[in-house]
């Protein structure tokens, strides 16, 4: 795949660095990058990227600007103000939010960029750090048909599933509600594991049996068997703090719609408690420790 357009990438964290690496090696485009941490910048420069001195410099240099940040608050801070991306992105460019951001914020930023004739797409990514390394992420995209057509080949550099969900904001709706459902499913698995454990049954045996019946799911096979059953909740994976953020976005949408989402509320309670207990940086299925009563005597997390 080749294109003459210059790509920009801001935010080279756990997910951003491997996504950017795939763009550098597969897109055929020049890629200009920025991050506050010099280490990922140096690694990507060594394979062909050009380092910028600021996020604003990326915005001025790139035709398509990808941003991968931890939260909507970080995105808003990056975009607003005299040094923000809104001020420095020229007409005719395209801005792509790869993070998970509140629906209201996505629509507000899109309107402000589009007032400058800058196209906007929300394209939050799903799946794990390993999927980011392998280029097999899932991306849900909100934006116009022409914008999606322009972005899809680039997104497929690091994603095996790319779904156009509708206009701006719809990608965020799908991603946020997907996470809401996943947390609810895993919470039910954790409760089942705790109850089975009280009878003397091993969690892995229980989940293996589930996988052969109607309780089978992606959540069971990945979060359940690979994390809950093994009691492994590594750092630098999707943390309790990050998942709490996503659930808060789901509950905000529910509140705006006048819907009482009791299941999501329970998930929020568990994730808040996980953070309070000191598990905020650990992989979020650590909520099983709150359910099975082992939270007060946990082993050290694996890095």
pLDDT on residue 3: 52
pLDDT of the residue at 163? 98
Per-residue pLDDT for 15 more than 80? yes
Q: Do 107 and 155 fall within a single domain?
A: yes
Domain termination residue (choose one: 129, 150, 167): 167
The structural domain count of the chain equals: 2
287 plus 162 within the same structural domain? no
Which H or E run contains 148?
Answer: helix 145-155
pLDDT of residue 228: 98
State phi, psi for 162 to the nearest 5 degrees.
-130, 115
184 shares a domain with 85: no
- pLDDT grade, residue 296 (50/70/90)? confident
Q: Does residue 299 lie in a domain region? A: no
Q: Could you tell me if 157 and 210 lie in one domain?
A: no
Nearest to 100 by CA among 64, 142, 57: 142
Residue 271 CA to residue 84 CA, distance in Å, equals 32
Segment 14-29 shows an average pLDDT of 97
**Is 298 part of a structural domain of the chain?**
no
Judgement on whether residues 177 and 163 belong to the same structural domain of the protein: no
pLDDT band at 303 (very low <50, low <70, confident <90, very high): low
Verify that 158 and 221 share a domain, yes or no. Answer: no
- Quick one: pLDDT at residue 2? 47
Q: pLDDT grade, residue 157 (50/70/90)?
A: very high
Q: What's residue 236's pLDDT?
A: 82
Is pLDDT at 299 greater than 80 in this prediction? Answer: no
Q: Which of 167, 187, 207 is the last residue of a domain?
A: 167
Query: pLDDT grade, residue 191 (50/70/90)?
Result: very high
Same domain, 112 and 219: no
Q: Count other C-beta atoms under 10 Å from residue 234's C-beta.
A: 15
Residue 263: pLDDT band by 50, 70, 90 thresholds?
A: very high
- 14's CB contacts (< 8 A; 6+ apart) are 129, 132, 236, 237
Same domain assignment for residues 198 and 122: no
Exposure string over 128-152, b if 16+ CB within 10 A, otherwise e: bbebbbebebbbbbbbbeebbebbb
Evaluate whether residue 303 is within a structural domain: no
From 132, 167, 202, the end of a domain falls on: 167
- 287 within some domain: yes
In the predicted structure, residue 300 carries a pLDDT above the cut 70 = no
Q: Are residues 217 and 73 in the same domain?
A: no
Range of lowest pLDDT (36-40, 212-216, 233-237): 233-237
Residue 222 resides in a domain: yes
259 and 284 share one domain: yes
Mean pLDDT (the chain) is 95
Q: Is 176 exposed, middle or buried (0-12, 13-18, 19+ CB in 10 A)?
A: buried
Are 65 and 110 found together in one domain? yes
Question: Which tokens go with 198?
Answer: 């009280």
Element at 90 (helix H, strand E): none
Please measure the distance between the N-terminal and C-terminal CA atoms of the chain and give it in whole angstroms. Answer: 36
Q: What is the mean pLDDT of residues 82-95?
A: 96
Q: Which domain holds residue 36?
A: 7-167
**What is the CATH classification number for the domain harbouring 40?**
3.40.50.720
Reported confidence tier of residue 190, pLDDT bands at 50, 70, 90: very high
**CATH number of the domain to which 277 belongs:** 1.10.1040.10
Q: Residue 130 pLDDT > 50, yes or no?
A: yes
pLDDT value of residue 128: 85
Please tell me whether residues 110 and 48 are part of one structural domain: yes
């Amino acid at each position: 795949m080749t294109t003459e357009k210059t790509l920009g990438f801001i935010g080279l964290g756990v997910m951003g660095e491997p996504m950017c690496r795939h763009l550098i090696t597969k897109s055929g485009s020049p890629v200009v990058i920025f991050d506050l941490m010099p280490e990922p910048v140096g690694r990507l420069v060594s394979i062909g990227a050009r380092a910028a001195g600021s996020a604003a410099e990326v915005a001025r240099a790139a035709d398509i600007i990808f941003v991968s940040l931890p939260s909507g608050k970080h995105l808003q801070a990056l975009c607003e103000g005299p040094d923000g991306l809104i001020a420095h992105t020229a007409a005719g460019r395209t801005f792509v939010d790869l993070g998970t951001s509140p629906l209201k914020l996505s629509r507000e930023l899109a309107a402000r960029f589009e007032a400058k004739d800058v196209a906007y797409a929300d394209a939050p990514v799903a799946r794990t750090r390993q999927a980011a390394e392998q280029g097999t992420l899932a991306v849900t995209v909100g934006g116009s048909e022409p914008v999606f057509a322009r972005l899809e080949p680039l997104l497929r550099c690091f994603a095996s599933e790319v779904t156009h969900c509708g206009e701006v904001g719809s990608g965020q709706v799908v991603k946020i509600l997907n996470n809401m459902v996943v947390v609810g499913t895993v919470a039910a698995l954790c409760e089942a594991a705790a109850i089975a454990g009280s009878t003397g049954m091993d969690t892995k045996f229980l989940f293996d049996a589930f996988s052969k019946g109607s309780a089978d799911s992606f959540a069971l096979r990945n979060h359940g068997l690979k994390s809950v059953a093994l009691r492994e909740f590594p750092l630098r994976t999707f943390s309790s703090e990050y998942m709490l953020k996503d659930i808060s976005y789901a509950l905000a949408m529910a509140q705006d719609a006048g819907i009482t989402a009791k299941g999501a509320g329970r998930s929020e309670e568990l994730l808040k408690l996980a953070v309070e207990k000191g598990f905020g940086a650990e992989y979020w299925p650590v909520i099983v420790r709150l359910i099975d009563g082992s939270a007060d005597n946990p082993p050290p997390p694996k890095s």
